[in-house]
Amino acid sequence: MATEDNEVEDPRPLVLIHNLPSFKLPLQDRLITHFRLFDSLASPEASSVRALICVGPTPVTADTLDHLPSLRLVVGSSAGLDHVDLAECRRRGIAVTNSGDAYSENVADYAVALLLDVLRRVSAADRFVRSGLWPQMGEYPLGCKLGGKRIGIVGLGSIGSEVAKRLVAFGCTVAYNSRNKKPSVMYPYYANVHDLAVNSDVLIVCCALTNETHHIINKDVLTALGREGVIINVGRGALVDEKELVQFLVQGEIGGAGLDVFENEPKVPKELFALDNVVLSPHLAVLTPESFEALNKVIIANLKAFFSNKPLLSPFQQE
């Protein structure tokens, strides 16, 4: 169709890129082939845009949605969507997707890496050698074997399932907690995290952050896990009561922790810096070139499905 100036109308669907200044969408240039992009809520296009890409943890609030009266789809670029007002989206009839399986293998790899590091003291041993302590102090303290450990997975979704698959290969036994028991899963199910902790040597936290899961790892759960227990968190910082965890670690009431996420990022409790049984990581579990490539494909597939009136590839589902 031509305009009055004999220009051909652009057939590409309009999509809003919604991002904080510090967050950019990887491989965004590939979207331009398929969609017309803009990035301002103040733009004239905001009133008619039907799809939004939410980059990273950029908040999507009721106020955000008020600027977008025609919006019918929020495409998330992360696995968790605690920064999106899901209830308000549901009320307004706005569909929401997340990253689907794009990050699952990468995060699972990282969770296992953190666990191996905590148990075998890899990072601490590296510091021991680099600081010149080996010739002075001799042998480094022993680490622990991974095989045979009882692993409790909090959130057996896409990421949790990949974690389980890897740890079974190491000879670990796996149990899990999720909102509901999964009929197709053979691992033992615990309806509450406290009971899971009682029967685990390690808790790996990879569920979504919601009002119900906030501080799901609390003082009672840490006590149940015990003095030799290990916490690995690759979900969200606020899934763990960070103040309680710090106290348990400082006082030697828990065996160790591998943490990729924190409650007030990028701030990390300074008490953890001197602890060799704690491995710290700056929210890196999802960040690989391969995961960005997979994410780009998921985002494009969700948008194409939406604009073609087909089922979405990765509608958000809480685990």
CATH of residue 46: 3.40.50.720
Same-domain pairing of 11 and 157: no
Mean pLDDT of the chain: 95
Query: What's the confidence (pLDDT) of residue 85?
Result: 97
Q: Which of 212, 228, 265, 271 is catalytic?
A: 265
Same-domain pairing of 302 and 156: no
Same-domain pairing of 18 and 142: no
Q: Does 236 qualify as catalytic in the annotation? A: yes
Residue 316 domain-assigned?
no
Same-domain pairing of 203 and 303: no
Same-domain pairing of 50 and 182: no
Same-domain pairing of 152 and 262: yes
Query: What's the confidence (pLDDT) of residue 27?
Result: 80
Same-domain pairing of 146 and 274: yes
* Residue/partner pairs of 238-242 with CB below 8 Å, 24 or more apart: 238/82, 238/209, 238/214, 238/263, 239/154, 239/205, 239/207, 239/209, 239/213, 239/214, 239/215, 240/205, 240/215, 240/216, 241/215, 241/217, 242/269
Same-domain pairing of 161 and 216: yes
Same-domain pairing of 269 and 292: no
Taking residues 5-9, report their average pLDDT. 65
How many domains in the chain? 2
Q: Which of 179, 194, 215, 283 is catalytic?
A: 283
Q: Could you report the per-residue pLDDT of 219-240, keeping only the tens digit for each? A: 999 999 999 999 999 999 999 9
Q: Which domain holds residue 303?
A: 5-102+288-307
Q: Does 265 qualify as catalytic in the annotation? A: yes
- Quote the pTM value: 0.92
Q: How far is CA 220 from the centre of its chain?
A: 24
Q: Which of 121, 162, 236, 242 is catalytic?
A: 236
Query: Around Cβ 222, how many Cβ atoms within 10 Å?
Result: 23
Residue 72 domain-assigned?
yes
Q: Name the band, by pLDDT with cuts 50, 70 and 90, for residue 28.
A: confident
Same-domain pairing of 227 and 145: yes
Residue 197 scores a pLDDT above 70 = yes
